[in-house]
Structures are given as structure tokens and as C-alpha cells.
Amino acid sequence: GMRAVKSIIVAAGNLKRRDGETSELLLTMRAIKDVNLPKFTTEDIPLFSGIARDLFPGLELPEPDYGALTTALEDAVAGQ
């Protein structure tokens, strides 16, 4: 519903403030993926990816940089 749309708009706005040089199309797709992918089952992800490719043909999203998060997670796991 409308809450999902608002979540995407808020996420896209946050991305735009953080990286104002990136195209709005890329930021919108990144926001859609960031908001929705965590909610999907493994079986749903290929379906979502297909829909996204249909809606945004030819758009290639770069892999997000989770550098600091990845390092912190690896350190936490290594410390156990």
C-alpha cells in the first residue's frame, strides 16, 4: 500500500542526500531493492529481479558498498 510507497520515497531521498551525483533512476531502483529484498523469500528474489528488469530495461545497478558493515560483521563473527 501507500506505506510501502512512502518507505521507497524516504529511502530514495536518503540515498539522494548521501549521493546527489547519481542519477535518480539508479537511486530509485536502489531504494526499491533496499526496501523490498529483505522481505522476500529466496524463491521470490528471481521473480522480483525479472519484474525489475522489465520496469528498468538495461539498468545495471552497481553492487552496494557495505565495507564498514562487512568488516564489523566479520570481526564480530571472528570474535565468537
Write out the DSSP string of 9-54: HHHHHHHHHH-TTS-HHHHHHHHHHHHHGGGS-TTHHHHHHHHHHH
Q: Confidence class of residue 65 from pLDDT cuts 50, 70 and 90? A: confident
Nearest by Cα to 19 from 57, 52, 62: 62
Res 10 pLDDT > 90: yes
Q: Look up the pTM and report it.
A: 0.75
Res 47 pLDDT > 90: yes
* pLDDT tens-digit series, residues 23-33: 999 999 999 99
Res 71 pLDDT > 90: yes
Model pLDDT, residue 70: 93
Please identify which residue in the block is written with the cell numbers 523469500.
Answer: 41
